[in-house]
Structure 1
Amino acid sequence: MSFVWFNEPKKWSSNASAINVHTDRETDFWRKTHNGCERDNGHFYYRSLPGERDFTATVNIRGKYHTRYDQGGLMIRIDEKNWIKCGVEYVDGKQFASVVTTVNGWSDWSVVPINSPDVLKLSVKREKEAIYINYAEGEQGEFRMMRLSYFPEIDKEQNLLVGVMCASPSKETEGFEIIFEGFNIVENDAK
């Protein structure tokens, strides 16, 4: 099954092992919480899976983050009101491992400080309504759990969208370069 863009960036390329993106400015995924902001214009390169299917998605991320809230990682999505994004987010001059879970149109945000590694490895595993998010710092880092999150189950007639995402929310940037390496989705047997 092929991948497609939701909000395709102006500059990107891919080969057998990597997806390279230069983010567009003023792009993000966020819903309501804290400041009422609603944005659904971040970049998301995904494929569709049957709604009842469990899976594990993995990717290694290398980014040249430099402006507040530059971000990139994995995303799972039902629609604009139900999605999870996780990966690196650049806040106050530092990298953080970050998760935003959005359910029924409300976003929450959690971060874990990391040591600004050259690469952050991510693993997202879906089992029914549970999403397990793990991260590892650097090529040799061991995976640690970042979050166990609820995510609504959907039926087999609906699609679950799974892929890589990136965004640059700031007005004061021209975006940044990010590389997604070894992106892989392994589907488990249908329930």
Structure 2
Amino acid sequence: MSTNFNDGKWLNEPAIWHAEAAGLTLTTDEKTDFWRETHYGFTRDSGHFLAFPTTDAFTAQIRVQGEFRTLYDQAGLMVRIDEERWVKTGVEFTDGEAFLSTVVTDGKSDWSVAQPFRELEDFRIRVTVANGAMRIQASRDGSFWPLLRLAPFPAVAQYEVGPTACTPERSGLTVRFSEFSIGPTTAKDLHDLS
């Protein structure tokens, strides 16, 4: 079932955004980011996140469209418990290319990138959380969903999930989010990529 973007609650509301039931368009503010300590030594909690409450188990997915061109330009889905426990996953521009990226944070951040497909100006991301585990999948077409990451994530009674976008090195990235849904956990096997 589709989720109405007007029902979310902002963490770090961007200066420029517009939502209707079926879509959200935002433009990032300057030097926004989510990160905790690892490698860089700093903690940032200034990225844009439109939060929707969930239960202890769910599957959420979203379509992301944008032109990612500057180092660390990023957009996708965030799952958040608090400022020390969260995941952001989607596209991130690094080393001259767009990659599918996941940052799993439980006290400190852990970053991984992959390129199961290279067309990353229009893609979908899906997150399933249940029983202390998070399954992250990405899709170019909404039909084929290769696995991006399977990670432990703390089991709690309620999470927040929703679109996120950051530009640590600049401002002015415009991202369009659509086809956002939150529902029961998928019953599909881990290796079922549909």
Q: When the two structures are superposed, what TM-score results if normalisation uses the length of structure 1?
A: 0.89
Shift of residue 92 of structure 1? Answer: 2.4
* 2:171 paired residue number: 174
In 1, the alpha carbon distance for the partners of 2:153 and 2:118 equals 29
* 2:132 paired residue number: 129
Shift of residue 153 of structure 1? Answer: 1.1
The reply to whether residue 23 of structure 1 matches residue 28 of structure 2 is: yes
| Match among 62, 77, 80 for residue 59 of structure 1 | 62
Change over 3 Å in CA distance of 1:187–1:141 after alignment to 2? closer
Q: Output the amino acid matched with 1:185.
A: I
The reply to whether residue 34 of structure 1 matches residue 34 of structure 2 is: no
Q: Output the amino acid matched with 2:172.
A: G
Change over 3 Å in CA distance of 1:39–1:16 after alignment to 2? same
- The answer on whether the counterparts of 2:91 and 2:120 sit within 8 Å (CA) in structure 1 is no
The reply to whether residue 9 of structure 1 matches residue 6 of structure 2 is: no
Shift of residue 117 of structure 1? Answer: 3.4
In 2, the alpha carbon distance for the partners of 1:27 and 1:67 equals 13
Shift of residue 3 of structure 1? Answer: 0.9
Q: Output the amino acid matched with 1:58.
A: Q
Shift of residue 141 of structure 1? Answer: 5.6
- The answer on whether the counterparts of 2:124 and 2:142 sit within 8 Å (CA) in structure 1 is no
Q: When the two structures are superposed, what TM-score results if normalisation uses the length of structure 2?
A: 0.87
Shift of residue 49 of structure 1? Answer: 2.2
Superposition RMSD in Å: 1.5
Shift of residue 140 of structure 1? Answer: 5.7
Q: What are structure 2's unaligned runs of at least 5 residues?
A: 186-194
| Secondary structure of 2:159 counterpart | strand
| Secondary structure of 2:54 counterpart | strand
Q: What are structure 1's unaligned runs of at least 5 residues?
A: none
Q: Output the amino acid matched with 1:182.
A: E
* 2:163 paired residue number: 164
In 2, the alpha carbon distance for the partners of 1:102 and 1:169 equals 17
Shift of residue 93 of structure 1? Answer: 2.3
| Match among 95, 99, 110 for residue 96 of structure 1 | 99
| Secondary structure of 2:178 counterpart | strand
In 1, the alpha carbon distance for the partners of 2:89 and 2:120 equals 16
| Structure with higher strand content | 1
In 2, the alpha carbon distance for the partners of 1:61 and 1:46 equals 16
Shift of residue 4 of structure 1? Answer: 0.6
In 2, the alpha carbon distance for the partners of 1:34 and 1:28 equals 15
The reply to whether residue 44 of structure 1 matches residue 53 of structure 2 is: no
Q: Which 4+ residue blocks in structure 1 deviate beyond 2 angstroms?
A: none
Q: Output the amino acid matched with 2:164.
A: M
Q: Output the amino acid matched with 1:38.
A: T
* 1:70 paired residue number: 73
In 1, the alpha carbon distance for the partners of 2:120 and 2:72 equals 17
The reply to whether residue 82 of structure 1 matches residue 94 of structure 2 is: no
| Secondary structure of 1:9 counterpart | coil
